[in-house]
Chain A
């Protein structure tokens, strides 16, 4: 076969979790990509079948360290539907406040990771500093920075009192200023545009075909957002704009995310200012009937999908979790085609993989079948150097 094979991954989860990519290259050009994500199966779905509903909330929270609130909300939403509960509006609003704060923290984290991958470490420092503010706010509300444990069946566990709301609203001013700064940065920073425009092309047709979700789909002009299309919690009442971009590349995905920062901040503000009075949770029944439910949620990375079937023993018969990153892998495969090796880090980073990344790269040269090894950091360094050699980069 013509060309060479580049193996990216899989061990040593430095920043994220392990996945391995086999990149088939011809010189600098990427011909195709193959992936292996088998390094991290933790058997959570099986574990869910052996636990009670309450215990499962804490188990699903640990599926992901970044969208922990997404998983618990989606799980609770499904079970509550089977229980035929109506959740108090105050609880719905608090769920949205947490969800949008989580989206802001996730997008900021991603922006930093992306900046770091491109050698733009100032951006990385800025975004991660601002992310601390968001995490502090989430800690103020829920008591936890990462695992918030905010949800319980029927509603939420903790209230947002007036003092907390006041504090959060005050901090939002700072974050709004920062969001404006990042939007301006993405709009005007030339080097950033050069690294992202025309890189990792995913056409609208392919995005639809491959069932891309979240900012990856919206960055290719696909108008899909579960908050709009299948409203849950208080999303039917809180106004927001769906952000899409027609540029169909890494820049588009970036554009969607920075503008979503602003939308999410507005939603948090709206929810806090219009927080309805009432109970924090509805009483839940002792028994649950055997039923099945499809529960969907717009996590920071896209559509989070749960299929849950309960049985007559008050337990879960089967819980199927499909995370947004899993749905977006095929889009990465598509977006890689025809790109340069130096673009691998940014294209992989652009779907904001929740389970990915790597640390070791093996290069197999087709001509002499020689095996070499590169770490993820070295690949990043290679990528930064490659672009610097073409006059695109930031001075240290």
Chain B
């Protein structure tokens, strides 16, 4: 029983080589040419998936260059991750066809601030508000930083998707007051 399972897996690994990544290699070469030193670590993960790293300081330049020169007009999402001493922020761009380019950056936990990109990508508006709400990441220059995801009576300064967040004892998180939970 176990043997067949192993056999299958090795067959799977052989199948997995998959399509050639010529197009992705071309795109990553273009990115390198376009952005040069500002980005580091261009990684082609698989067909249609490219991850690049950039410094938080010049993130706006990188994203607008990708939009103007590489036709990445579609911002699918902005993901945020708590990495203990820093926050990882990932902009997922897409040109409408071809590859998804995910631009990764890091900001220090002590000062969770990053330039807003709403002026380049209007769709970033809600995504940045989401991260502001759930992680406390401040998009500098955002036109409208009201609460989006959490309820209006949620206590200030509590960010539930941070790893160290825990529900405070006897704290009011909205909803019916003094409800028996």
Contacts and interface: CB of A to CB of B under 8 A. Distances in A.
Interface string A283-299: 10100000011101000
A39 interface: yes
A307 to B, nearest CB: 4
A224 B92 contact: no
Interface stretch (A80-88, A114-122, A136-144, A161-169): A80-88
B125 A330 contact: yes
A330 B122 contact: yes
B13 A84 contact: yes
A309 B123 contact: no
B57 interface: no
Interface string A222-244: 11100001100000000000000
Contacts of B5: 283
B125 to A, nearest CB: 7
Contacts of B16: 84, 86
B151 A326 contact: no
A370 B76 CA distance: 41
B97 A229 contact: yes
Contact of A210 (B45, B81, B123): B123
A229 to B, nearest CB: 5
Q: Is the interface of B mostly helix, strand, loop or mixed?
A: mixed
A285 B48 CA distance: 25
A340 interface: no
How many B residues touch the partner, as a band? 35 or more
A329 B9 contact: no
Nearest to B47: A230
Contact of B151 (A39, A309, A330): A39
Interface string B75-87: 1110111100000
Interface stretch (A41-49, A98-106, A248-256): A41-49
A294 B102 contact: yes
Interface string B12-47: 110110000000000000000000000000000110
Contact of A294 (B75, B92, B121, B152): B92
Interface stretch (A176-184, A315-323, A371-379): A315-323
Contact of B123 (A85, A86, A211, A317): A211
Interface residues of A, number: 40
A9 to B, nearest CB: 13
A260 interface: no
Contacts of B46: 81
Interface stretch (B58-66, B109-117, B142-150): B142-150
Nearest to A38: B151
Nearest to B11: A86
Most buried by A among B74, B80, B102: B74
A327 interface: yes
Nearest to A292: B51
A380 B127 CA distance: 31
Contacts of A326: 126
Given A209-B122, A211-B76, A283-B8, A229 B81 contact: no
Contacts of A209: 73, 122-123
5 contacts: A223-B96, A229-B98, A294-B100, A307-B77, A322-B76
Interface of B: 5, 8-9, 12-13, 15-16, 45-46, 48-49, 51, 73-77, 79-82, 90, 92, 96-98, 100, 102, 121-123, 125-127, 134, 147-152, 160-161
Interface of A: 36-39, 41, 43, 45-46, 81, 84-86, 208-211, 222-224, 229-230, 282-283, 285, 292-294, 296, 303, 305, 307, 309, 317-318, 320, 322, 326-327, 329-330
Given A84-B16, A209-B123, A229-B98, 19 more contacts: A38-B149, A38-B151, A46-B161, A86-B15, A86-B16, A209-B73, A224-B74, A229-B96, A283-B8, A285-B9, A294-B49, A296-B100, A307-B77, A309-B81, A318-B81, A318-B82, A320-B79, A327-B76, A330-B125
